[in-house]
Structure 1
């Protein structure tokens, strides 16, 4: 492809779409940057279709933060009466435009004298001297990571004697946030005799990587009163700044080239210099302190035999900025020492100089995750893709420039040869989450991408579901372009190509696989008429064998489903029905066949469970096999015939006590548990001791209040009972006044229907006693299990949601007899699907309660010694519905 240089930035979930190890830019985002974040989720919907959902995009704006870096303290040697220059650099370490106030002051204590005439001047050319003698107290506006160079000037009073020291404090404040302050301390020592100062400068302080030669000048001057001997100048160049052999010159020898490799050979006449640079012969010379090693062969060393008072000169040499350097700053400081008389001075430093490596933009968009060369692994080719599925092309955006960059990505869908109606998407490296616009220009991008790193992006194309073939042998192609947002002339493109869209198909059959002559339902469905009709009884499960035949050319799996809708507009079954699928001969339920090879099949046992109250009739069911990977789909039409079942349930057998001449009421429930309405139901009673004067009567709960009252009517038959309907019946038994104590009567309640051929019966045994305990159980909802009832206690039913909701039960036991009863125990138990909650309450203080632990199950028992006639005891407890 034609490489047009440009910047790239692809973003991942947060601000950067390329979250690869080591690739994330660590500098703080610029102030005002909008961090965008979008989540994605994959799921399978009710149709068995795998879907991708993306969240809304949320944005966070980066605020400005102030920070700065101030170079190290300066230590200067000077003569009394001399003007001193101390060079400094401040760098904006914050993330936005800022100005920095500067001030300098003599320390009030801890030194010997003050410098006079303190001023601060610009030093834009970094030569350690003021550009002009116009004082400043603030930097120009600096972008993030930009530097400002300046010098402090001050004069030593002429009266100061040797060895005295002056200290001064430099203070720098951010003007954006005045609370951000840095300081350093400079010192000036006074010396008699020789005083040498060294300055360093560059012929050019900025350029590209690689660069043309840059001349370095090391200037020296003896401002003292004595001769300096063995003046040693040392310069250890930073990494990326390369010494040019044979480039050194000394002003006293003019154009004569200084030897790089013979430090024992003095050059010059009256004054001489011994010079050595980046050569093995330099070993043993004074070693630079700034490069943290003990090797003097990797530095420039110039040893001047003598420098007289007032004498000045310079050593020059050339360097080249190496190739492949990232944009940024190369800082450097020279060192020097000398003999003043017989005494070797301390090691001192020149001013610091900085070469700025300029940012160059370049980009390669290719198919390689290892090589950043254009046309590598291009075009990206996918040989085939099943019909109706998404095709993903993986590409890599390489930042081949030398600084962090961001790249917009654009798919040229207008020139694509993919089928009309195809959907084109740019995705992050996960192949799911959309690529986000981090720069705010409306185009998806890579996000900040460090030099030399790459960002993986995915071009996803979804052709129409009916598209197939190879486009007349030409295949399908589309071009994607990455463009630098900092320089729109820098871009690079890649071609993605698909050779063919292969068709896919599946067929569901009954009885046998599609290749067997016995198979039914072969061919594309759904059929207008059911292929097969199967009979099932209410409340039972039918096993229906289905054969899933992969009739396409691609190995794939198929999602299985059943619905009453032939077009699968909804995946829905009749109310209460259940369908599950199992591989034939296995017990594990499944919703997908697993991979079936082309031309192969899988037998699936389809278990259809019909509720007990299902009305008789025939229902059409449509079974679907669908491949998410290929889009292959078949629907087969079968019918389920539900038989008619007539069934009533009468409950329960009970026992009670009464006094001679008294009565007792039994509560019974009659439920239609079949799947059809039952008509002409006959109710009949019989008493075993009818001859001794026992009688009974049957009432229905006419007023639906859950207890026998004046409004409840006597019944002998029911005209009809609907499916699932429950009728509450009260059977009242009367004992004759002369009934003997401990005598019993059995009352049978018989329900008959279907012309008497179907019967249900319960028996109630009533005993004559002088004492009688009646017990009533009531319930009330406690939503939230907070101890507050949401309605009064009653015997009526109610509905409640499972989870953190409770049911409170109230049991009231009453002595309805004429004498005191003893050893009374009221017992209940936690129902199924509940857990014991809280602590039980008993209304009588002498009551002893035994109960399960909280969250457990079991019996609740209240015991008391005696209960007087007419007396009652109330037991209350709660359960949580799970």
Structure 2
């Protein structure tokens, strides 16, 4: 007669429920790890169920794992095109409308670009075309373009250019459109631009940075180019540039100038004739007494980069001007192009044995565990820190170890049970995405050999290695030391 073993049945059930519970834990931890940013197409979400159990009559905890299930993120194609523009213009003038195209999907895409005259207005533009404005200075870069490719998350500046017909009457307006169409899924976006003709003064303003990319504390020169495109001298023109202290701060080094003439950032009558220039609380104000017909000029000054994290610093100058030399009529208000400065991505990391800081001190990069008998597991808790200024993920491997053979080294999440898996398809376990300043606690488990017979207690070390995937030249190791 077969004897029913209720204890064995209980253990078996406990094992099954342990698997199911850990499956949920594994899924939760993996999905939470991607919550920081949209997963790129081709990224992998991996999952494995892990269960721990004991055989009846044994105190040895054993582990069982399911097959590895991997889900590959599929491409999603979305984008934005901004924004509708409206400017004043003189008859016969070539005008530029600035736009930004952004790939908000998770995969590379290519876009067809087309500028067209619209109906129901006062005139059509001649030589209507689209140009690249890669450095965001409001000036076309290179030849006419009809298509452009962007990686996921990238954006680019575009300019629609067209010429207002000579002899166009005052107050007439012309409408044009810019259409961007995804070549992958045919999704289309449209912006509408308008220029209104004036027979009075017309002032244009462009802003540019001397660099397109910079690091924290870099000094960058800013240039404001203004132009009166009309045949009428303007009245007073006031420019206002608000610098956000978290991004940029004004550098008062005595080199600020107006068409080469030095300026004084302090308030008061201390500037060359024709301009009143001052900076208060990181806001620049420049008042030009007038801008003669068909002339241009510039103002230059410097700023310091205060933004530490990688990303874009957009900046636009607003201005108003007396277009008809009549103080009884309202001044016209407009703005420059949006100049763009990008803070460079600098990748850095630390792997250590300290939960409270990304210390690289020798004492914080050595972890010593208590001695164990042969065949037992030695468990170490390490911490991978993203010390760079951009999100990153870090591959995990063993740089070196001298434990007796045969042994096994594995990486787990903080629970010591859920294995760290590959999330980017290179077949190497990694941390998943970590934001700047974020850390991931990991468990490094050394399974020592049961066949090793030590005559006396000996000390061994394993050196886990974390390697940046943003910059593979950046890596770090920690020493985990144990005894048998």
Q: Same fold (TM over 0.5)?
A: yes
Shift of 1:205: 0.8
Task: Note the 1:331-342 alignment, pairs <5 A.
Answer: 331-340=314-323, 341=325, 342=327
Shift of 1:17: 5.3
Task: Note the 1:318-717 alignment, pairs <5 A.
Answer: 318-322=302-306, 324-325=308-309, 327-340=310-323, 341=325, 342=327, 343-375=329-361, 377-385=364-372, 388-412=375-399, 415-416=401-402, 418-465=403-450, 472=457, 475-498=459-482, 500=483
Secondary structure at 2:290 match in 1:
strand
Determine if contact 1:372/1:400 at 8 Å carries over to the other structure: yes
Determine if contact 2:250/2:282 at 8 Å carries over to the other structure: no
Shift of 1:40: 1.7
2:113, 2:90 → 1: CA distance?
26
Q: Do residues 182 (structure 1) and 167 (structure 2) align?
A: no
Q: Who wins on radius of gyration, i.e. which is larger?
A: 1
Determine if contact 1:15/1:438 at 8 Å carries over to the other structure: no
Q: Do residues 90 (structure 1) and 101 (structure 2) align?
A: yes
Shift of 1:82: 1.5
Determine if contact 2:464/2:479 at 8 Å carries over to the other structure: yes
Structure 2: give runs of 5+ residues left out of the alignment.
1-24
Q: Deviations over 1:153-206 (max 9, x none)?
A: 11222333333333322211111221x222222221222211100011121112
Match of 1:636 in 2: none
Secondary structure at 1:307 match in 2:
coil
Which structure exhibits the higher relative contact order, with contacts defined as CA atoms closer than 8 Å and separated by 6 or more residues?
A: 2
Determine if contact 2:36/2:433 at 8 Å carries over to the other structure: no
Determine if contact 1:17/1:428 at 8 Å carries over to the other structure: no
Alpha-carbon distance change, 332 to 71 in structure 1, aligned in 2, over 3 angstroms: farther
1:441, 1:236 → 2: CA distance?
46
Match of 1:617 in 2: none
Query: Considering only aligned residues, what root-mean-square deviation do their CA atoms show, in Å?
Result: 2.6
- TM-score, normalising length from structure 1? 0.49
Match of 2:238 in 1: 232
1:479, 1:102 → 2: CA distance?
53
Q: Deviations over 1:673-692 (max 9, x none)?
A: xxxxxxxxxxxxxxxxxxxx
Secondary structure at 2:235 match in 1:
strand
Shift of 1:308: 1.2
1:41, 1:366 → 2: CA distance?
28
Q: Deviations over 1:559-578 (max 9, x none)?
A: xxxxxxxxxxxxxxxxxxxx
Q: Do residues 70 (structure 1) and 86 (structure 2) align?
A: no
Q: Deviations over 1:599-621 (max 9, x none)?
A: xxxxxxxxxxxxxxxxxxxxxxx
Number of equivalent positions? 454
2:82, 2:431 → 1: CA distance?
35
2:74, 2:307 → 1: CA distance?
36
Match of 2:42 in 1: 32
Question: Which residue among 131, 144, 151 is the counterpart of 1:135?
Answer: 144
Alpha-carbon distance change, 333 to 186 in structure 1, aligned in 2, over 3 angstroms: same
Match of 2:257 in 1: 250
2:461, 2:31 → 1: CA distance?
25
1:88, 1:248 → 2: CA distance?
32
Secondary structure at 1:377 match in 2:
helix
2:455, 2:330 → 1: CA distance?
85
